[in-house]
Amino acid sequence: MSLLEATSQKGSGRRKLNYSPAPGSPGHAGTLLCRTSSFTASTHINHGFRTMRTSGVESEWLMNATHAPGQKPRPCSADGPLPVKKNVPQVLKFFTWWTEAGERKHMTVDYFTDTQSFRVKVDIPLPVKVYGRDGDLLEPWDLHVGARIDVLGKTVTLKQASQETIEWLDHTARVLIRKKLILEDEISKFTHVPLTQTIHTYQHRDKQSHIPHKAEGGKINLRGLRNEVLHLKSIFEQYRPTPEPEPEPEPEPEPEPEPEPIKKEKKGKKK
């Protein structure tokens, strides 16, 4: 099976994707031309010595790529002892749509947490690489309802998510919010709590409860919230008293060796 990697470039009327076979796979480098409106059976691919028409499973086989050769995906779990739900769903599923030429287009975006790879589906499944603004591959922290991501040169907004995805996003957000409130309370005992960028971090405000923001509908930006928790944690570390190291016990003096008893010589009998 040939594993191909693809990168998108904007062209005139079409999107051009350069691809190259994975090490050990047959064929030569070529180009993949996709229509702007959809990725359907009209897609053609020139694979070295032959030209084939892609459709359905065949196109998924041709585009079965996740990471460039030699590139290792980053771990999905958070760095450091941050509270995170361990059983992350195997697939985070989002839905989006837009209107093009008077026709409504739908797209499904699947993120596979075990391989950190994306698959977008318009008319057929199409595995692609999706990067953030910093050029790094996206992680579960970067995905939420309302997030804007670039898919094959087109910026789309994730407008809905599956129930399992929403439950994991909301649970993780609530855990991080509790951690944030605890750190703010501890920091207030020593100094003023720094202001946080709530506009970029939260999507909902809850004025009826003590928690100033509410995790609901998978709309909280976990990346921004996680960064704030790490920032508050670093501030708290500056004020938290560190326990003094206990003095090492002095070594016990070695006992002096007892003197050997003097042996008395036996006097021989006189003849």
Q: Is the pLDDT of residue 89 over 70?
A: yes
Q: Is the pLDDT of residue 263 over 50?
A: yes
Residue 203 has a pLDDT of: 52
Q: Is the pLDDT of residue 83 over 50?
A: no
Domain layout of the chain by residue ranges: 4-62, 91-162, 164-239
Q: Is the pLDDT of residue 162 over 80?
A: yes
Q: Is the pLDDT of residue 63 over 50?
A: no
The C-alpha angle with vertex 81 and arms to 242 and 181, in degrees rounded to 5, equals: 80
| Mean pLDDT (whole number) for 162-185 | 90
C-beta pairs of 18-24 under 8 Å, 24+ apart in sequence: 19/63, 19/65, 22/65, 22/69, 23/69
Residue 167 has a pLDDT of: 92
Q: Is the pLDDT of residue 174 over 80?
A: yes
The residue type of 175 is V
Sign of CA dihedral 215, 219, 222, 228: negative
Which CATH architecture best describes the domain 91-162?
Roll (2.30)
Give the predicted TM-score (pTM) of the model. 0.48
| Mean pLDDT (whole number) for 113-127 | 76
117 vs 23, more confident: 117
The residue type of 246 is E
The residue type of 17 is L
pLDDT digits (tens, 9 = 90+) for 187-211: 888 888 776 654 444 554 444 444 4
